[in-house]
Amino acid sequence: MKIDYFGDLKKIRNTKPLVHHITNYVVMNVSANITLSLGASPVMAHALPEVEDMVSIAGVLYINIGTLSDRWIESMLAAGKMANKKHIPVLLDPVGAGATRYRTETAKKILKEVKVDVLKGNAGEMQSLAGEKVMVKGVDSTTSAGMGTAGALAKEYGLTAVITGQEDYVSNGSQSATVKNGTEMFSRITGAGCMLGSVIASFMAVQKDMFASAIEGLVTFEIAGEKAAARTKLPGSFMTALIDEISLLNEDTYKLSDVTIK
């Protein structure tokens, strides 16, 4: 495993991998813009008659259950299975797992039927999937979870688990990393977690070690957030600045990375 932040960012910019999103209505626009700003090529497609075709030409599949319904779940499963068949990596963001039984069960169903490579969620979502008792209010986490939860999920499902929060925890069951980058401003806009998913997914398309690509995506997005927060503390302006800053990342930027790997 070799982490190469800027090397892999350059690969994204040069190869513009297609990032197939099946994501929620709230963030589709900003997720597409973050992906473009990073240098990758986003596509949103959710209809059952086309998801298998679309994922087959993609570099990665990103499933996000933020505004799910039965028909979309069917498409998520079909796309995920085709991605597995074609050896295309899959990221799952179980938005709101723990808040309603429907979301928790859907996330578990996807984890059972699709081989997910990276599972990324906040503490409440990840604890609910790990079977821990947890209070969840809506889609924002009010709890905290640690590396133990990440490791347990990693082992249970054979994937890289990412738990976001003030500190982020990444585990693939044998290795673990703590990322301390980021900004409080992420909690003041909608979709920060969803946009992070787009960034990690983009790295998954060019870096086949999923533990590495998860860390690279986290650090990339969170450093851009820090730079945007240095420009403004107002949420509307911050959203614009965040998209701007993603496009400005360079080799120097990564000196800000604050990662501990064990």
In the region spanning residues 142 to 201, those forming contacts with its own copies, defined by CB under 8 A, are: 188-191
In the complex, least distance from residue 32 CB atom to its own copies, rounded to whole angstroms: 4
C-beta of residue 120 within 8 angstroms of C-beta of residue 200 = yes
83-91, 93-101, 125-133, 147-155 -> range binding its own copies (CB under 8 A): 93-101
Burial class (CB in 10 A: 0-12, 13-18, 19+), 240: middle
113-121, 138-146, 148-156, 201-209 -> range binding its own copies (CB under 8 A): 138-146
In the complex, least distance from residue 251 CB atom to its own copies, rounded to whole angstroms: 19
In the complex, least distance from residue 218 CB atom to its own copies, rounded to whole angstroms: 20
By C-beta, is 11 or 46 nearer to its own copies? 46
62-70, 121-129, 153-161, 205-213 -> range binding its own copies (CB under 8 A): 62-70
Among candidate residues 177, 180, 247, the one with its CA nearest the CA of residue 212: 177
When asked if residue 236 is in the footprint of its own copies (CB under 8 A), the reply is: yes
Beta-bridge mates of residue 239: none
In the complex, least distance from residue 175 CB atom to its own copies, rounded to whole angstroms: 33
Among candidate residues 68, 73, 78, 62, the one with its CA nearest the CA of residue 21: 62
Burial class (CB in 10 A: 0-12, 13-18, 19+), 194: buried
C-beta of residue 219 within 8 angstroms of C-beta of residue 259 = yes
C-beta of residue 45 within 8 angstroms of C-beta of residue 22 = yes
In the complex, least distance from residue 249 CB atom to its own copies, rounded to whole angstroms: 12
By C-beta, is 175 or 190 nearer to its own copies? 190
Among candidate residues 79, 82, 153, 161, the one with its CA nearest the CA of residue 117: 161
Residues in touch with its own copies (CB under 8 A) = 18, 20, 24-30, 32-33, 36-37, 41-50, 53-54, 57-58, 66-71, 96, 99-103, 137-140, 188-191, 234-237, 239-244, 247-248
